[in-house]
Amino acid sequence: MAEGRAGLHVPEPVSRPGFEWDFSSVPIPAAGLVDRPPTNVAADEIRDFPFKLIRVLDDDGRAVGSWNPDLAVETLIEGLRAMMLTRAYDSRMVRMQRQGKTSFYMKSTGEEAVAVAAAMALERGDMCFPTYRQQGLLIARNWPLVDMMNQVYSNSGDRLKGRQMPVFYSSREAGFFSISGNLGTQYVQAVGWAMASASDGDRRIAAAWIGEGATAEGDFHYALTFASIYQAPVILNIVNNQWAISSFSGVAGGERTTFAARGLGYGIPALRVDGNDFLAVFAVTSWAAERARRGGGPTVIEHFTYRAEGHSTSDDPGKYRPRDEAAGWPLGDPISRLKAHLINGGQWSEVEHLAMQKAAEATVREADKEAESYGTLTGGGRPDPSTMFDDVYKEMPENLRAQRAQAML
Amino acid sequence: MNMIEAINSAMDVALARDSNVTILGEDVGFFGGVFRATAGLQAKHGKTRVFDTPITECGIIGVAVGMAAYGLRPVPEIQFADYIYPALDQLVSEAARLRYRSAGEFPMPITVRSPFGGGIFGGQTHSQSPEGIFTHVSGLKTVVPSNPYDAKGLLLASIEDNDPTIFFEPKRIYNGPFDGHYDRPVSPWAKHEGSEVPEGYYTVPLGKAAIVRAGADVTILTYGTMVHVARAAVEELGVDAEVIDLRTLVPLDIETIEASVKKTGRCLIVHEATRTSGFGAELAAMVQERCFYHLEAPVERVTGFDTPYPHSLEWAYFPGPIRIGMALEKVMKD
Q: Please check the confidence at residue B93 and state whether its pLDDT lies above 80.
A: yes
Please tell me if residue B67 touches chain A, with a CB cutoff of 8 Å.
Answer: yes
Q: Which member of A172, A199, A200 has the closest CB to residue B106?
A: A172
| Whether pLDDT at A385 is above 70 | yes
User: A168 at the B interface (CB within 8 A)?
Assistant: yes
Identify the CATH class of B3-173.
Answer: alpha beta
- pLDDT tens per residue, range B204-240: 999 999 999 999 999 999 999 999 999 999 999 999 9
- DSSP assignment letter at B97: T
Instruction: Please say if the pLDDT value at position A137 is more than 80.
Output: yes
Q: What is the pTM of this model?
A: 0.97
pLDDT at A3: 75
Q: Name the residue among B56, B93, B139 with its Cβ closest to that of A185.
A: B93
Three-state SS letters, B114-126: EEECCCCCCHHHC
**Active site members of B:** 126
Percent of chain B surpassing pLDDT 70: 100
- Residue A1 pLDDT greater than 60, yes or no: no
What confidence score (pLDDT) does residue A97 get?
Answer: 98
Residue A2 has pLDDT above 80, yes or no: no
Mean pLDDT value of segment B30-36? 97
Please state, in angstroms and rounded to a whole number, the distance separating the CA atoms of residues B222 and B249: 10
Answer yes or no: do A200 and B70 touch at CB < 8 A.
Answer: yes
- List strand residue ranges (DSSP E) for A90-130, in order: 127-129
pLDDT tens digit sequence for B48-83? 999 999 999 999 999 999 999 999 999 999 999 999
Listed by start position, the domains of chain A span 43-378
Do B3-173 and B207-333 come out as alike in CATH topology?
yes
Does an H or E element contain B65, and which?
Answer: helix B57-70
Superfamily per CATH, domain A43-378: Thiamin diphosphate (ThDP)-binding fold, Pyr/PP domains (3.40.50.970)
> What are the angstrom distances between the C-alpha of B193 and each of A199, B8, B215?
40, 19, 19
- Within 8 A of B86 by CB-CB distance, chain A residues are 218
Minimum CA–CA partner of A389 in chain B: B100
pLDDT digits 0-9 by tens, A265-302 = 999 999 999 999 999 999 999 999 999 999 999 999 99
Interval A179-197: pLDDT, tens: 999 999 999 999 999 999 9
Given this model, what pLDDT does residue A151 score? 98
Mean pLDDT on B127-142: 98
- For residue B279, which residues of chain A lie inside 8 Å, CB to CB? none
Tell me what the pLDDT averaged over chain B comes to.
97
Average pLDDT over residues A126-130: 98
User: Mind listing the pLDDT tens digit for each residue in A236-273?
Assistant: 999 999 999 999 999 999 999 999 999 999 999 999 99
A185 touches B: beta carbon within 8 Å: yes
Q: Average pLDDT, stretch A95-100?
A: 98
Distance CA B252, CA B264 (A): 20
User: pLDDT tier at B270 (50, 70, 90 boundaries)?
Assistant: very high
Q: Is A210 helix (H, G, I), strand (E, B) or coil?
A: strand
Q: Which residues of B279-299 are buried (b: 16+ CB within 10 A; e: fewer)?
A: bbebbbebbeeebeeebeeeb
Residue of A nearest to B56 (CA): A222
Confirm or reject contact between A225 and chain B (CB < 8 A): yes
* pLDDT tens by residue, B236-261: 999 999 999 999 999 999 999 999 99
CATH T-level assignment (fold) for domain B207-333: Rossmann fold (3.40.50)
Q: Cβ–Cβ contacts within 10 Å for residue A222, how many?
A: 27
Mutation site, A193, A229, A401, interface B, largest B CB count within 10 A = A193
Q: Provide the mean pLDDT of chain A.
A: 97
Predicted local distance difference test score (pLDDT) of residue A408: 81
Region B37-41: what's the mean pLDDT?
98
Taking 70 as the threshold, does the pLDDT of residue A173 lie above it? yes
**Are B251 and A398 inside 8 Å of each other by CB?**
yes
Identify which of B54, B62, B72 has the shortest CB distance to residue A185. B62
Q: What is the ipTM of this complex?
A: 0.97
